[in-house]
Amino acid sequence: MVMWDLTFDPRASTIQHQWIWEQGGGYFGVPLTNYLGWFFTVYLFLQLFALLVRFRPSNETVRSFARSHSAQAVLMYAVMGLTPVLTFVVTGSGSQLTDAAGVVWRTANIAESMATVSIFTMIFAVAMSAVRLLQVGANVPNTSDVRLNAPTLVEITRSR
């Protein structure tokens, strides 16, 4: 989430004025506290999820999803990660603007920085996830043709 926020906030707040940081900030008008807030918010939710998984009743079954489920998430993250890169390539030289704190920014500098951050955070994560998905994919059974409540191999072996 913070990777996405690093590539999204400066353009959305400073150039597009979707929201305004009245005091500004050092990262193209966005304060460090914004990113710290997102980091700790995401950490809290992931920690709560980890605790939920750890203490769930043992009789719950864990389902294996087909690779296509994970591939959709990777593809969506890739689209979000490529957006700042394509924006930089398409926008050209840009102009100057002044944020709410009175700091003058060049839109081309913001676009280039967002593209750079996106390549080395989001796109890198997409590449690593895609490699992992391809490696694990061969070992993941296809669950699309499995009958509900079908006996497992262990149950069949025990019944003989």
| pLDDT tens profile 21-34 | 888 888 999 999 99
pLDDT in tens, 38-87: 999 999 999 999 998 888 876 555 566 677 888 998 999 999 999 999 98
**Angle formed by the axes of helices 67-91 and 2-9, nearest 10°:** 20
Query: How many angstroms separate the CA atoms of 143 and 65, rounded?
Result: 7
pLDDT tens for each residue of 92-136: 677 898 888 888 989 888 999 999 999 999 999 999 999 999 887
Phi, psi of 96, deg, nearest 5: -105, 150
Burial (CB count <10 Å: 0-12, 13-18, 19+), residue 138: exposed
Residue 7 · residue 47 · CB < 8 Å: no
For residue 126, what pLDDT is reported?
94
Which pLDDT score is estimated for 91? 81
**E strand or H helix at 89, and its extent?**
helix 67-91
